[in-house]
Amino acid sequence: MTGTDPTPDQPSSPQPSHRPLVAILSGAGISTDSGIPDYRGPNGVWRRDPEAEKLVTYDAYMADPEIRRRSWRMRQDSPAFRARPNAGHEAVARLERSGTPVRVLTQNVDGLHQLAGVPPRKVLELHGTIRAVTCTRCHARSSMEEALARVAAGDPDPACLVCGGILKSATVMFGEHLDPQVLGTALGVAKAADVFLAVGTTLQVQPAASLAGVAAEHGARLIIINAEPTPYDALADEVVREPIGSALPELLADLA
């Protein structure tokens, strides 16, 4: 045989380099720049009006028609339906578009990550969504927009159109458990993440808060961006107290 034999185990083209999996756990603080107040911060909703917590407590909601009527009025006035994504949400969407593997684990129910352009399949809504309602009896699901239209038309406590049961927003109320499938998927993401950012969350609400600890235990670089101290700061590789709207875009640009 003449000529030079090819080397069989030498790749003909460069192999793709590993791109780190970036998991982002977002809390209420990422949405305050969009005009949605947080709940547990110094000026949070629950601190200003402890009675408001009853409106999102399952047992109180189910037992008291007046609380349900107040809840529907609160939903009508919620700034979340008028809110638009801000610089923080847009930075996350840019990172995802760059080709970096991104998964968003959000404690928020406002849907702003998806509105910013993150594909819904890459967003795990740990506490549900305000953009849908569900029946507490037959579990039929429909749009919040349709339910609020019925309230505006004069029905202060709209019942399920399928079975007549009590409707609630498709959010996880106090006293309810997180969806085990959603939580299980989130745990898998936390264990697999190379970089885990906790953004705008006090990391006090379990089990969502524990995802930061799980990620750190499995070797992720843990970055916490929050105005106030959190119980997981000691585990973090980096703690950032700067405003999210400026700090998060800068951090994520470095990861793209």
How many domains does the chain divide into? 2
Residue 4 is assigned to a structural domain of this protein: no
CATH assignment at residue 238: 3.40.50.1220
Residues 143, 70: one domain?
yes
Residue 50: per-residue pLDDT: 63
Give Dmax over CA atoms of the chain in angstroms. 92
CATH assignment at residue 147: 3.30.1600.10
What residues have CB less than 8 Å from 134, skipping those under 6 apart?
140, 141, 167, 168, 169, 170
What residues have CB less than 8 Å from 83, skipping those under 6 apart?
31, 34, 35, 36, 110, 112
Residues 161, 198: one domain?
no
Query: What predicted TM-score, i.e. pTM, was given to this entire model?
Result: 0.85
Positions of the chain with pLDDT lower than 70, given as ranges: 1-17, 39-50
Residues 141, 209: one domain?
no
Residues 139, 101: one domain?
no
Residues 74, 160: one domain?
yes
| Residue 140 structural domain | 37-82+130-171
Is 113 in the active site? Answer: no
Boundary of a domain, candidates 171, 204, 224: 171
Peptide bond into 37 cis (omega under 30): no
How far from chain centre, in Å, is Cα 4? 58
Choose the catalytic residue: 18, 89, 127, 177.
127
Residues 137, 59: one domain?
yes
Residue 229: per-residue pLDDT: 95
Residue 71 is assigned to a structural domain of this protein: yes
List, in sequence order, every beta strand (DSSP E) within 121-187: 123-125, 128-135, 141-143, 167-171
Residue 125: per-residue pLDDT: 97
- Sole residue written with tokens 């927003």: 169
Residue 224 is assigned to a structural domain of this protein: yes
Residues 110, 58: one domain?
no
Residue 236: per-residue pLDDT: 97
Residue 12: per-residue pLDDT: 43
The residue among 108, 106, 83, 87 whose CA lies nearest residue 247 is 87
Residue 3 is assigned to a structural domain of this protein: no
Burial class (CB in 10 A: 0-12, 13-18, 19+), 46: middle
Residues 158, 256: one domain?
no
